[in-house]
Structure 1
């Protein structure tokens, strides 16, 4: 029989036991929450973001899902997001600044923000038209310096004497070192008739020059096609490709047909100082020369290989020599590597630029955009040429020459290409 005092003790023990159980469950729940928090990071629950924060978040998500390096340059990408969201964004320009700071942590000059005007300008330039001083520029993959790849024929820059390989130090007094590629290009663009001053460092001989240029309308004609009849027994079709724009493949194909009809027995394809452009244009142009074989391999962030193969529609089987130099970059290197590795062409000139990364364009809700490195490419023989370039079959050094000197006696690389074709 349980006495009253014992009953009170029993009831108290039961209550203590219940409290202990509930306390244990509560501790377990807290432990699980902490574990989930550690796995997933803090989750935004019913949190209202401003429009500027939404732009930042969209940029973060694009990089998070698409960027080639899933270590994000060995940093916690989620933590970086949270750190930036703690900062107030007063306006859209502040959001752009935060995005640019975030992208800079990747140490990849080719992954960059494109403000609305820059995004539109890039879209226009790949369709074959632009306005400005007429310079093709790129960031050196090793030094990140802003360099001239080549002036556009007939442009103010070409007429002033700016050369491929020149380093652009300042634009209207503004240092270019911290500028993304499109920001530098935007500074050089402007209304026709306006002026811009470029401070240039020339490597050979090393000197500083200032050029005051008058902006003009630049008409991009990516293809030059001429028949060289110096050797009547072996007419040579000369094709120069300035960039891989949307209309480059069609214009090059038409040039090849015209030269074939004029009796060309061999071809020289000049890719010197060609900075690249559209990846698909490079693949399509390779198909004009290759009847079969792999054109290029791409490697994504998971290390998965994809390949692009020739479509069995080559326009000619005539012998081909390709001219390359340090300004041959990106899609130009894809084309040169495909022709070299498949034994379709002999490469003559100097080691190429060495840009083996592929970018995709993503549009943000406010008409700005991101260029994001999404893959790297390998040549058909699985050579990764990023920062290494392609070594030509026949190395021929060449001092800078003007466009008027291309194909003349002072163009040592062209003369070597002619000899290689004639020798068979």
Structure 2
């Protein structure tokens, strides 16, 4: 089975993509539409994390559908979507060819839109914000993690799939889209955003120096793209040369990305230890290990908040459970499921939940998140104030590094 990695701009959930080249066509008596449906059914049958398929007879569902008329491709897509909806898993979904191509475009490192990472709440079905991309129109407008998106240009999001909602927010640079947002205060408000080019540059690094204080290397990681491990490694090496004696790794509002990127970045900080466990539908544990040496042994604090999700939680959990870093900020998002993307023969695809992950101490993150060692609420600041004296969470990290307690932890490890 051919395997390739990808980054998703809708859900920065850590994912691994598998090609479905193993599929063999059913009996020649089947129509082309029935073949596509059967291919989708077979993929879920072999890969989905829940082998009870939400307590239903998966074979009987196939037989029932194939007795119906599938007159055209849209009818086939509707049948596949209905089949997937029966799993009651918003992360397992059909991607029509144009939606699939959009995901592939997102891997290029640049797209145009408003810069929101979104998800469907597994319990309520509501469309909610995981995190805005740093510096994007959504970020500048003050949209926050966990905000609910009620409408997009007057269309109720309850009537849209996740990918349809994402598609409506994307568009040519300079065009506008109006979102109706509901925050924690429960008061809906309309926000007009002008679409812009969204640069997916994952790493920002700077040496923070003050007279009489420890030089701190500040690294902000905004997404786990394919090039993120290399860029983080380059940042660490450059900061080491500049004299950094401690580090702050900022994962706030980082909604995830490639699973492998999160693992490789954890290995940059760890000499040894488990990075993450994966658990499949048979309950079998797989693990990814650090094989050292780490690029630096200097003390480390990791900043997290409600917008830190998926691969961010893998990285934060690995560093916390291995005693390599202290976490400062707010409880993380709680996205602990792994999706794979399978190609269908007509250019569409399926995103299928295939496993879940656990931290090295076997903490199940899904819906629970990771609790930081020191909880510090995030005050409302602008993008330009992140990582400055106006940033209360960052200042708490700096003060903690200066207290020598982290130095002692680092030495003991």
Residue 293 of structure 1: aligned partner: 273
* Equivalent residues of 1:163, 1:400 under 8 A apart: no
Residue 290 of structure 2: aligned partner: 310
Deviation at 1:232, TM superposition (A): 4.2
Residue 377 of structure 1: aligned partner: 357
Pair 380,127 (structure 1): closer, same or farther in 2 beyond 3 Å? farther
Deviation at 1:383, TM superposition (A): 1.2
Describe the SS at the equivalent of 1:170: strand
1:344 matched to 2:317: no
Describe the SS at the equivalent of 1:206: coil
* Equivalent residues of 2:213, 2:402 under 8 A apart: no
1:148 matched to 2:125: no
Residue 167 of structure 1: aligned partner: 148
C-alpha deviations, 1:150-175, integer Å up to 9, x for none?
22233222333323332111111111
Residue 24 of structure 1: aligned partner: none
Mapped to 1, the partners of 2:364 and 2:344 lie a distance apart of 31
Mapped to 1, the partners of 2:254 and 2:135 lie a distance apart of 16
Aligned pairs for 1:343-422 (under 5 A) are 343-422=323-402
* Equivalent residues of 2:131, 2:145 under 8 A apart: yes
Q: Which of these residues, 67, 75, 89, is aligned with residue 94 of structure 1?
A: 75
Describe the SS at the equivalent of 2:180: strand
Mapped to 2, the partners of 1:142 and 1:328 lie a distance apart of 19
Q: Which of these residues, 242, 245, 267, is aligned with residue 225 of structure 2?
A: 245
Describe the SS at the equivalent of 2:275: strand
Aligned pairs for 1:77-92 (under 5 A) are 77-92=58-73
Deviation at 1:376, TM superposition (A): 0.8
Residue 33 of structure 2: aligned partner: 52
1:134 matched to 2:134: no
1:190 matched to 2:171: yes
Residue 214 of structure 1: aligned partner: 194
5+ long unaligned stretches in structure 2: 1-24, 405-413
Describe the SS at the equivalent of 1:56: helix
Describe the SS at the equivalent of 2:183: strand
Q: Which of these residues, 50, 65, 90, is aligned with residue 109 of structure 1?
A: 90
Residue 243 of structure 2: aligned partner: 263
C-alpha deviations, 1:45-95, integer Å up to 9, x for none?
956222222211111110000001100011111111112222222321221
Describe the SS at the equivalent of 2:339: strand
* Equivalent residues of 1:128, 1:247 under 8 A apart: no
1:254 matched to 2:234: yes
Deviation at 1:395, TM superposition (A): 1.2
Mapped to 2, the partners of 1:354 and 1:154 lie a distance apart of 24
* Equivalent residues of 2:117, 2:129 under 8 A apart: yes
Using CA pairs under 8 Å that are at least 6 residues apart, name the structure with larger relative contact order, 1 or 2. Answer: 2
* Equivalent residues of 2:228, 2:261 under 8 A apart: yes
Task: Compute the TM-score of the two structures, normalised by the length of structure 1.
Answer: 0.85
Structure ID, larger Rg:
1
* Equivalent residues of 1:126, 1:277 under 8 A apart: no
C-alpha deviations, 1:123-149, integer Å up to 9, x for none?
232442222111122233443322222
Task: Let me know the Cα RMSD of the aligned residues.
Answer: 1.8
Task: Compute the TM-score of the two structures, normalised by the length of structure 2.
Answer: 0.88
Aligned residues: 380
Residue 138 of structure 2: aligned partner: 157
Residue 12 of structure 2: aligned partner: none
Describe the SS at the equivalent of 1:149: strand
